[in-house]
Amino acid sequence: MMTAEIQIRHGGDLTQAAALFPDAPGPWVDLSTGINPWPYPLPAIPPAAWTALPTRGGLQALLAAAAMAYGAPAPDSLVAAPGSELLIQTLPRLRATGEVAIVGPTYGDHARAWAAAGHAVRAVTVPGDAVDAADVVVLCNPNNPDGRTWDAEALLDWAARLAARGGWLVVDEAYADLDPARSLCRHAGALGLVILRSFGKFFGLGGVRLGFVLAPPALLDAVRLALGSWAVSGPALAVGAVALADLDWQAATRRRLAAAADALDGVLRAGGLRVIGGTALYRLVDAGDAAALWRHLACAGLWTRPFPEHAGCQGWLRLGLAADRGVLDRLGAALAAS
């Protein structure tokens, strides 16, 4: 059973790791997130991006690059925000309270945000079972942490059925950069369809805080109003516009991540773990006693992500990609000693 010391809402907090395990050998290695360990090389940021208010021109350049990268119909089919997390918190406040079905187990902040806004939230495992009863259905495609995916045809059908009753299908595509063919962004604007995209994970720049929502025009207007003026900083506009326009880097990165995920699989299996899901940015394993393994790896300075908050998932442990061979070797040695 998970112990009380495991209180992890998100991965990535090495200050928490160091506080809980002060005697662990350094340097700490963060394997707790699904963020690319080989970030996009930062472009030169114009000094005005730091000193002046974000410009309309800078925002339009970002939206044009995002529309091209995501295959969206036009730049005005997206709204940019300081991270998709803020959009997750904003959407529940833009409609009357109702019944919301969250397809899980999945990223926990979806349920927390809808519940905090007064909606009745229930967990489901099969999206189609909730479409004709709920007002909103929320799912991740691919899903975090197990990597499940849904076909575009089914998703569009569910969105249309929800739209007929004034509902939404919210599709969180935080990891869709890994397999663009699965994205619904080309259908942006379809009634009932709300798509979230995250910049920081695939581009390895989580600190930039940049995300997008694609939705019907009226909802985009409501999001713009809720976010207010200058929602995205000047440096984020500049970095995002360059990175999203660099399609060659994106293609090469997909190949690099796939190879790194295969290498991680080899180390995990050699350590006696069963890989049960994930994406090219992280792997999910059945660790049996995940609490014990999480603690053992933390004592070795390796920070991973357990899921004590999800009933029935106490055996799950998620591990992100290793940045180099040395990290893989360190992980392999720790698993061999477990």
Q: Model confidence over 36-78: pLDDT tens digits?
A: 999 999 999 999 999 999 999 999 999 999 999 999 999 999 9
Q: pLDDT per residue over 198-240, tens digit each?
A: 999 999 999 999 999 999 999 999 999 999 999 999 999 999 9
DSSP character string of 266-300: HHHHHTTPEEEEEETTEEEEE-SSHHHHHHHHHHT
Stated as kind and residue range, the H or E segment containing 124 is: strand 120-124
**Over 90: is that where the pLDDT of 3 sits?**
no
How far is 98 from 118, CA to CA, in rounded Å? 8
Strands 305-306 and 302-303: unpaired
Stated as kind and residue range, the H or E segment containing 3 is: none
What is the reported pLDDT for 4?
37
What is the pTM (predicted TM-score) of this model?
Answer: 0.95
